[in-house]
Amino acid sequence: MIEGKSLTKRFGEIVALDKVDVQMKEGQVFGLLGTNGSGKSTMLRLLSGILMQDEGEILIDGQPVFDNPRAKRNFFYISDDQFFFANATPEDMAHYWQTQYAMFDQAGFFQLLDAFHLNRRRRINTFSKGMKKQLILFAAVAANTRYILCDESFDGLDPVVRQAVKSLFADRMAERGLTPIIASHSLRELEDICDTIGLLHNGKLLLSRDLVEMKQNVHKVQAAFAEPLQAVHFPQLNIISAKNSGRVITLVVRGDAQQIQDKILEYNPLFVELLPLTLEEVFISETEVVGYEFKTLTLQ
């Protein structure tokens, strides 16, 4: 488990992270969401031991990470702007990573390269941005570390590759309990892969929740009545948002699904239906709880 306690990081007068407490459990995909400048990259660079926190503590499996090779052996960090040695080929980089990571699976790495038609003997500086991202993601997978820290790593990948990488992650999670930690400014990027999402804003972690748990607590209900009813007619419900269309009302309500349905049935609706919620809708509800308007926090 990766644990950050009261993490604070300042760059001069700018507070990049302000007393952030975060836990990333093993075997889950943790998504770190936030706008540009919200502190995502800083958080990942702190977690990977590149930067030193001004206050607080970071533990990876109980060990402090800063300047600690033992802790660092447990993760592979993918920067948003990857570095490869000048004139190096994927083969050269593989040799290098093999010397750095004890479990680096060179054969597996080459297999992935071949499968995605990346020439292992071509100079990396001739690769496109997306190819470089593929390369580093495959290396991260092949490194066989417990954690992979990805900073905006899925941007620039085509949908096929993105899906393939997600499958790879899923396989490794199933096989050996890999824990990917993915930072992104796009909710949609994380929606179908993350188990837990942390929302960073202005250096503060607004929330860090399990997605399933969040979804269980917020529901979208659509009902039709003989006479048009407004949200104010349902004072017993904890309504987050409401939308009227003639006699049909769509509510996003916090609470237990059965109880919400029972309460609406008391008004004799013509029909009641529970609709699936998008992650965005869940986040709108959750951020409002902590006093923020979600649309100002993320770029979708």
- Rounded to the nearest whole angstrom, what is the least distance from the CB of residue 54 to other proteins in the complex? 9
Q: Is 239 within 8 Å of 273 (Cβ atoms)?
A: no
First to last CA, the chain: 29
What does each C-alpha distance from 123 to 1, 27, 135, 163, 172 come to in angstroms? 37, 35, 12, 26, 28
Minimum CB distance to other proteins smaller for 85 or for 259: 85
Nearest to 164 by CA among 172, 251, 206: 172
Minimum CB distance to other proteins smaller for 176 or for 295: 176
Minimum CB distance to other proteins smaller for 145 or for 285: 145
d(CA 175, CA 218): 32
Judge residue 147's burial from the number of C-beta atoms within 10 Å of its C-beta, 0-12 exposed, 13-18 middle, 19 or more buried.
buried
Q: How many other CB atoms sit within 10 Å of the CB of residue 258? A: 10
- Rounded to the nearest whole angstrom, what is the least distance from the CB of residue 69 to other proteins in the complex? 4
- Rounded to the nearest whole angstrom, what is the least distance from the CB of residue 161 to other proteins in the complex? 22
Structure tokens at 14: 């700018």
- Rounded to the nearest whole angstrom, what is the least distance from the CB of residue 41 to other proteins in the complex? 9
Minimum CB distance to other proteins smaller for 149 or for 237: 149
Task: Count how many Cα atoms sit within 13 Å of the Cα of residue 276 in the half-sphere of its side chain.
Answer: 3
d(CA 188, CA 195): 13
Minimum CB distance to other proteins smaller for 76 or for 154: 76
Q: In sequence order, what DSSP letters do the residues of 241-288 get, joined into one string?
A: EEEEETTEEEEEEES-HHHHHHHHHTT--SEEEEEPPPHHHHHHHHHH
Site residues, other proteins (CB under 8 A)? 11-12, 45, 48-52, 67-70, 72-77, 79, 81-83, 85-86, 96, 98-103, 144, 146, 149, 176-177
- Rounded to the nearest whole angstrom, what is the least distance from the CB of residue 203 to other proteins in the complex? 14
- Rounded to the nearest whole angstrom, what is the least distance from the CB of residue 118 to other proteins in the complex? 19
Minimum CB distance to other proteins smaller for 69 or for 159: 69
Nearest to 161 by CA among 143, 134, 186: 134
Minimum CB distance to other proteins smaller for 155 or for 191: 155
- Rounded to the nearest whole angstrom, what is the least distance from the CB of residue 46 to other proteins in the complex? 11
Report which DSSP code applies to 29.
P
Minimum CB distance to other proteins smaller for 72 or for 220: 72
- Rounded to the nearest whole angstrom, what is the least distance from the CB of residue 84 to other proteins in the complex? 8
d(CA 172, CA 187): 23
Residues 6+ apart with CB under 8 A from 44: 32, 77, 149, 151, 181, 183
